[in-house]
Amino acid sequence: MGKGFLNSGNDQSKGRELKFMSQKILHPNHQFMEQLEATGPFQAGACFQCRKCTNGCPVTFAMDLYPDEVIRMVIIGQRETVLRCRTIWVCAACETCTTRCPNEVKIAELMDSLKEMAIQEGVPSPQPQILALHETFLNNVKKRGRVFETTLLPTYMLQSGELRRKWKAGAWQYELTLGLQMFYKGRFSLFPKTIKGKKEVSTILSHHKQGKNPPQ
Amino acid sequence: MKVTYYPGCSLEGTAKDYAESIIGICSSLDIELEEVPDWNCCGATAAHSIDHRASIELAVRTLNLAAQMPYQDMLVPCPMCFNRLKTAAFVPEGDYKDRYDIKLEASLPKIWDLANFFATKEMLEVVAKHVQKPLVGLKVVCYYGCMANRPPEITEATDFEDPQSMDRIIQNLGGTAVPWPYKTDCCGASQVLSRPDIVSQLVGKLYDMAQRVGAQAIVVSCQMCQANLDMYQRKIGAEWGRRFSLPVYFFSELIGIAIDVKGVKKWLSRHITDPFSLLRGLDLMNRR
């Protein structure tokens, strides 16, 4: 794989720049789709490119590949391209695509499987904040069996570097005021609840492999 | 009437208003809520995004606890939890049945999305009998979001492109639910933390349309939607170069107002976007 084949990187402001594929199309790799389908099935092979998924998707403006393009790339085995693309991470999992697909392709579920595969294969996420939020959330659940939002939010802000970004951009005032308001309005509980089955929950969550690029 | 209740984590925290309003109206309507003992987090978006096995196993643990309770119905106010529990409930007949080592009890209660529960014919009748202050003059749009409806093979929703549960509830209370096209458009959910710019686009579009169809407020059944629409309204307005003032009520809060439950003010005081002026203007709340 050529370094920088996907030049979208971390820059969220840029539009669709992913114009080329990681492997030559003359050599489609059907094993990739088979490997993915084993975690599904998602019926990716049934896609006939009607683009209904893309037309109904609310977050295409933030994607580098459109949902139908991800499916196509999966079918022709463009492993690197899909595992590195921003689309699988900015997908909001709203399930509109899956709901509307005339061929019952489970598009949103496939996006999840691709994220999990990217993590397992050590592919860095082009959206480290999104990965950081998921991981902070699961680590938080692991501790007590339930999410404790009062520590979740600050932990995420610190670990993901979001606080520093907001500070630099001067965007922290609204968040700070909001945080204080929430506090005064009693929307942050002060005492977390720990469940009796905490161990069961932490065992369930301990199979998970942490993402490769730890947040800054 | 006694039911099993799975509140979910955010109702113990940032969505205390939702939790209190549900407890308030249920006690007025003689619905006894019994929490699933020792329930755990459903895993939410984080688990299904990066650890599918865990997302199923977490929900299965709670379902198995719920199966030991004697009641037929389980109420789930959070659409995210509802969606994850429903997904897990389909495991025995689905594609994952042999993949993970999961034993799901056979005697599961019926899993209800809370808004759908309150929109059944029986519940509408019960609530109608209790209405003391009809919501006359209140014009709202009902915003359903994603998880209570999609995908329909999991949620078993039949009107997933144009859901009606909250519209029925509001009409039943004497209010007006204005039809609008963005009932089930996504609010961006947890991306409010990781990609607030995306949420600004998605939610700004909702405000804009709600105003265009003449709504005075937005009604929701999801605490994630409520948070995104309520907490960031001023900020998103500024980013759109607009001023929106659309209170975002939980449908349960409006039921509470109409059937005159004690504590309504306390629930509403937890909101960020002013929920009071509109209600006072319509004489639905006294001016103290």
Chain segment A121-160, per-residue pLDDT in tens: 999 999 999 999 999 999 999 999 999 999 999 999 998 9
Contacts of B10 in chain A (CB under 8 A): 147, 149
Cα atoms in the 13 Å half-sphere on the side-chain side of A182: 21
Closest Cα partner for B225 from B67, B52, B77?
B77
Q: List, for residues B21-74, the tens digit of each pLDDT value.
A: 999 999 999 999 999 999 999 999 999 999 999 999 999 999 999 999 999 999
ipTM for the complex? Answer: 0.95
Domain ranges of chain A: 30-120, 128-206
Residue A26 has a pLDDT of: 65
Residue A215 has a pLDDT of: 44
Q: What residues does CATH 3.40.50.11810 cover in chain B?
A: 134-281
Residue A30 predicted with pLDDT over 90: no
What are the φ/ψ torsions at residue A150 (nearest 5 degrees)?
A: -60, -35
Say if the Cβ atoms of B46 and A134 lie within 8 Å. Answer: yes
Say if the Cβ atoms of B191 and A130 lie within 8 Å. Answer: yes
Domain at B134-281: CATH architecture = 3-Layer(aba) Sandwich (3.40)
Residue A22 predicted with pLDDT over 90: no
Give the three-state DSSP class for B143: strand
CATH code, B2-115:
3.40.50
What is the C-alpha separation between A114 and A93, in angstroms, rounded? 13
Q: Is A70 exposed, middle or buried (0-12, 13-18, 19+ CB in 10 A)?
A: buried
Closest Cα partner for B217 from B249, B239, B240?
B249
* Interface size between A and B, measured as CB pairs under 8 A: 179
Nearest CB to A187: which of B13, B194, B235?
B13
B139 touching A (Cβ < 8 Å): no
Nearest CB to B38: which of A12, A95, A195?
A195
How many angstroms separate the Cα of B208 from the Cα of each of A179, B123, B162, B179? Answer: 26, 33, 19, 14
What is the C-alpha separation between B156 and B87, in angstroms, rounded? 11
A188 touching B (Cβ < 8 Å): yes
| pTM across the whole model | 0.93
Contacts of B39 in chain A (CB under 8 A): 146, 195
Residue A12 has a pLDDT of: 42
DSSP secondary-structure letter at A132?
Answer: H
CB within 8 Å of B247: residues ≥ 6 apart: B216, B217, B218, B230, B271, B273, B274, B275, B278
Residues of chain B predicted below pLDDT 50: none
Residue B232 has a pLDDT of: 96
Cα atoms in the 13 Å half-sphere on the side-chain side of B241: 0
Q: For A180, which residue in chain B has the nearest alpha carbon?
A: B272
Instruction: Read off the pLDDT band of A24 (50, 70, 90).
Output: low
What is the C-alpha separation between B275 and B278, in angstroms, rounded? 7
DSSP secondary-structure letter at A170?
Answer: T
